[in-house]
Chains A and B, each alone.
Chain A
Amino acid sequence: MDVDLRILRYDPETDPKPHWERYSVASDPMDRVLDLLHRVKWEHDGRLTFRRSCAHGVCGSDAMLINGRNRLACKMRVDQLGRKISVAPLPGLPVIKDLVVDMDGFFEKYRSAMPFLINDDPPPERERLQSQHDRERFDDTTKCILCAACTSSCPSFWAQPSYVGPAAIVNAHRFIFDTRDHGAEERLEILSDQEGVWRCRTIFNCTDACPRGINITQAILEVSGAIMERKV
């Protein structure tokens, strides 16, 4: 069957502003949006530009706005979307070309919340022990692939681009609730800033957008809960 594929195109070297282009693409119901983009690029217009690498939802390269929602192009099938499919770059991030957005600001925010284990105790000979229960406590937030689908779906981020955003909080959560980590105080201090967790309005767009199924809103609430607890 043929899919009516619309892509928001923009080439900074030739286009004054972004514009939609339509393609009729032969496809199978099990094809993924990434397959359609490749078909356009390889058969019709080599200039179509997007990032991709692993093509099975673990590298985080190809998050984009698909039929109005942030999704990974390699995980969305034609049979889930129907015969009319629209693809645009992630909202709220500067567009470089076609579906490629500038990720530098996103990664800078991720780094600002100290996403690494902090523990200055001399390490034991063997592994540090951790109970299965304690390991489970932060399991959900270890899944993050930094695709930016969550942060760029967040209306609070659109309204206030200085907001640190869901992805940075998720990656701070992963350490705050790890029993081996001693840096929770510093991270909670950073996230209690006015650009931190309080900007979250529990709209749940992030949770809906996450291709890894992380319950992001819950994680943000747990971090703000930890900040409140620390204040009393």
Chain B
Amino acid sequence: MSIAGHPAATVHEYQAVIVGAGGAGLWAALELARDGVKTAVLTKLYPTRSHTGAAQGGICAALGNQEEDHPEWHMYDTVKGGDYLVDQDAAEILAREAIDTVIELEHMGLPFNRTAEGKIDQRRFGGHTRNFGEAPVRRACYAADRTGHMILQTLYQQCIKHGVEFFDEYHVVDVVIEDGVTRGVVAYRIADGELHVFRSAAVMFATGGFGRMFRITSNAFSLTGDGCALAYRRGVPLEDMEFYQFHPTGIVGIGILLSEAARGEGAVLRNDSGERFMERYAPTLLDLAPRDMVARAMYMEIREGRGIGGKDYLHLDLTHLGKKVIDEKLPDITEFARVYQGVEPITQPVRVTPTAHYAMGGIPTNLEARVLADEQGNLLPGMYAAGECACVSVHGANRLGTNSLLDILVFGRRAGLSIAEDVRAANGELPALPAGAEEPVRAEIEALRSRRRGENAQHIRLELASEMMDNCGVFRTRATLEAMTFKLRELRGRYADIAIHDKGRVFNTELLEAREVGYLLDCAEASVAGALAREESRGAHFREDFPERNDTDWLQHTLAFRAEGGPDLRYKPVTITRFQPKPRTY
């Protein structure tokens, strides 16, 4: 029997359970459906609401449809873009499998823009170059500026075609791991508040990122690090959490993304005097330098008083592109500028600032998307991860534009293939479920529901997001990170006493959103601890008190394990195959 008269949870049995229905989860589901593996896909949204759909600019693959290109060049750009923290075996797979991935998307029906000969059209993107850094190359395959939307729709369509079983609006609230083996997940059905246990031989997390831990972010409200935090709480380490990317061009004040595709098509950043200031920071690639460098350059301009009107934003200028290019190639983002800023990008510059965009770190995996339990490379049986919640690591210290869409698909597929292989090897046997697997999380939920008085969790979230922006954003120092550590301890204490108004069972979003704040606190804790320890600057992690990269001491990945009194940090080496670290200039 369970807590105070609650019925036991409904138990489902599946060979595989996928948590999250963005690109990574859907492609894995598709592989498993083709292979006849009984699979459930759980999502706290509807699949088509997943944040993959918000990706805009493109997906890179060295197709060479527009000019000469090679996977080796793509691999090099990825490694250099990631400031040499990239595991090069993973980057090689990413660049090589990109080609088949994009071709298969086309075969699935994805409506790419076309060249005059009817091939997939390609355009320039930040950090992607010809011949090891010579000049920008046309590598990004795209469908206007809604490439992610088309990928999400196309994969969902294929899942329908192949009869994938979805559990929409099932919010996963725990992962069951006992004796070092993953045994399933616990989900909260949003419609009626009932708990459902999914017993399974394979659990894949494809839960996306956690941009909501920052005040200004391009991320959806639902991106609260659920998968990372749930794994972390059950003893799984989180890798390289100190590397968080700020995208240069967010709409000022609200952070909605204006794709790098704008600069790929020729738009430029300008300061108060109208100067194209990237000429001073990245003389070769200019506005198409990697995002970490452009975001820092923007902050430097603002700090030195060259923001527009001396304020904290700059201009993205598309006015010289002309109406035709804008309407055909950038229709959505120009619409965002009209709706959310009230400016007409065909004739007026758009006000932009860097916006928190992408987590390079996450749940550590090997090249087959199997989750790693420690710094020695031991596996956690039955657990898989891919996409933004995972860290394989193809992005290292800074991700290149378009490589996230590629990552979710290449490693989502690899997760599906690994699961199929492991399920076959286990002859369809499911691991035993501990009695009352849902009781720990039920106790948490009922405690929250029954607390009569306490602070509103959303106030804690807003404070967290504001403090993280100031103390653990584009620039960090020991002082800001220590202040943030202290702040997190305080917020955690307050979080333990939150209360909610809504005591109901039906569609209780207040309860779930309060839980999400707890996930964000966990992700922030691991990020800040990693950032405080890492006394160097690399990629998106910029320590003003240690402004240089230090390969002697820090060419290594951080693994943060949950522990009393703050994370236990351990380290593992970076895999270097073809490209030795060099100074990173553009």
**Which residues of A come within 8 Å of B, CB atoms?**
11-14, 30, 41-42, 45-47, 49-61, 75, 77, 96-97, 100, 103, 107, 111, 115-117, 119, 123, 125-132, 135, 138-139, 142-146, 175, 178, 180-181
Contact = CB atoms under 8 A, between A and B. Distances in A.
Contacts of A127: 102-103, 106-107, 112, 119-120
Interface of B: 45-46, 48-51, 53-54, 102-103, 106-109, 111-120, 143-144, 146, 149-150, 153-154, 157-158, 160-161, 191, 220-222, 256, 332, 336, 339-340, 342, 456, 458-459, 500-502, 504-510
A53 B43 CA distance: 13
A127 to B, nearest CB: 4
B54 A49 contact: no
Contact of A55 (B112, B221, B510): B221
A58 B54 contact: yes
B220 A46 contact: no
B473 to A, nearest CB: 21
A54 B506 contact: no
Contacts of B114: 129-132, 135
A56 B220 CA distance: 9
A49 B160 CA distance: 29
Nearest to B514: A46
B458 A42 contact: yes
12 contacts: A13-B504, A42-B456, A47-B502, A53-B49, A55-B221, A58-B332, A117-B108, A127-B103, A139-B144, A142-B111, A178-B109, A180-B109
B515 to A, nearest CB: 13
Interface centre among B114, B143, B191, B332 (most CB of A within 10 A): B114
Interface centre among B116, B117, B154, B157 (most CB of A within 10 A): B157
A53 B221 contact: yes
Contacts, number: 146
B49 A49 contact: no
Contacts of A117: 108-109, 154, 157-158
Contact of B51 (A49, A54, A77): A54
B111 A59 contact: no
A12 to B, nearest CB: 6
A40 B147 CA distance: 34
Given A59-B45, A129-B118, 10 more contacts: A14-B504, A41-B458, A54-B49, A60-B49, A77-B339, A115-B160, A116-B157, A116-B161, A132-B116, A175-B109
Given A46-B510, A129-B118, A145 B111 contact: no
B29 to A, nearest CB: 14
A13 B503 CA distance: 10
B175 to A, nearest CB: 22
Given A12-B506, A54-B54, A175-B109, A96 B222 contact: no
A60 B48 contact: yes
A145 B510 contact: no
Given A54-B53, A127-B120, A135 B111 contact: yes
Main secondary structure of the interface of A (DSSP, over half): loop
A58 B153 CA distance: 12
Contacts of A59: 45, 48-51, 53-54, 220
A125 B107 CA distance: 10
A117 B153 CA distance: 11
Nearest to A129: B118
A103 B502 contact: no
A103 B46 contact: yes
Nearest to B219: A54
A128 to B, nearest CB: 6
A138 B501 contact: no
Nearest to A42: B458
Nearest to A79: B342
Contacts of B107: 123, 127-128
Contact of A30 (B50, B220, B342, B500): B342
Contacts of B46: 61, 103, 107, 146
A135 B339 contact: no
A59 B21 CA distance: 13
Give me the 9 closest cross-chain CB pairs, A-B, nearest first. Answer: A117-B109, A129-B118, A46-B501, A116-B157, A46-B510, A116-B161, A127-B106, A47-B502, A59-B49
Given A53-B222, A111-B160, A116-B158, A97 B507 contact: yes
A52 B221 contact: yes
A131 B111 contact: no
A138 B111 contact: yes
Contacts of A103: 46
Contacts of A146: 46, 48
Given A116-B109, A135-B114, A97 B506 contact: yes
B118 A58 contact: no
A11 B505 CA distance: 10
Nearest to A12: B506
Contacts of A115: 157, 160
A47 B504 contact: yes
A54 B220 contact: yes
Contacts of A53: 45, 49, 51, 220-222
B506 A46 contact: no
A123 B108 CA distance: 10
A49 B158 CA distance: 32
A230 to B, nearest CB: 22
A61 B111 contact: no
A159 B286 CA distance: 58
B111 A178 contact: yes
